[in-house]
Structure 1
Amino acid sequence: MKPGIRPAHRPVVFRDKAADLASPTRSTMTGDRTVTWEDGTTYPMADVEISSASHPFHTGTARVLDTVGRVERFERRYGRGEAR
């Protein structure tokens, strides 16, 4: 592989704004804001809108849609389609 074409990996703290949870990891992202972590080191911080801490699938708050009722309502309204 050619030298110098891979982006530099550096420690970054990702913060989930919805769950107010932060976790340090390594990434190629850079951020304008910084945060001082528990170990006293200053890291760049990237805000994310949703993560596994706040996603409905992972938290168990996902809703199941009534798709059968929707299909029946569509067929009542527009009739059953003819077979092709």
Structure 2
Amino acid sequence: MKPGIHPEYHEIIVIMTDGTTFKTRSCAGKPGETLRLDIDPKSHPAWTGVQRIMDTGGQVAKFNKKFAGIGAKKA
């Protein structure tokens, strides 16, 4: 292997959506930093089977505002 091309591999702390934490080794961030997850296996619909709308960027609200009148019956 070529020397000097591999990223630094160190321990970080991962915080899950329910607040639980664990240590793992990663190339992300700096040693000792924390990585806070928005979606993890405890909350993702692929693993839970429950569909939820996760509106972190306001996209759902923007969509609902833009298309609020479509499909509504007019009296």
User: Which TM-score bucket, shorter chain as reference?
Assistant: 0.5 to 0.7
In structure 2, what is the equivalent of residue 21 of structure 1?
20
The runs of at least 4 consecutive aligned structure 1 residues that moved more than 2 Å come to: none
Q: Tell me, what secondary structure is at the counterpart of 1:19?
A: coil
In structure 1, what is the equivalent of residue 37 of structure 2?
48
How far is the alpha carbon of 1:45 from its aligned partner?
0.6
In structure 1, what is the equivalent of residue 49 of structure 2?
60
Q: Which protein shows a greater Rg?
A: 1
Matches within 5 A, 1:3-14: 3-14=3-14
Q: Tell me, what secondary structure is at the counterpart of 1:13?
A: strand
Identity percentage over the alignment?
Answer: 31
Query: How large is the RMSD of aligned CA atoms in angstroms?
Result: 2.2
Write out per-residue CA displacement over residues 17-59 of structure 1, whole angstroms, 9 at most, x where no aligned residue: x32222211000115xx9xxxxxxxx32111211112212222
How far is the alpha carbon of 1:9 from its aligned partner?
0.6
Q: TM-score, normalised by structure 1?
A: 0.50
How far is the alpha carbon of 1:7 from its aligned partner?
0.3
Instruction: Return 5+ residue gaps in structure 1 as ranges.
Output: 35-42, 64-84
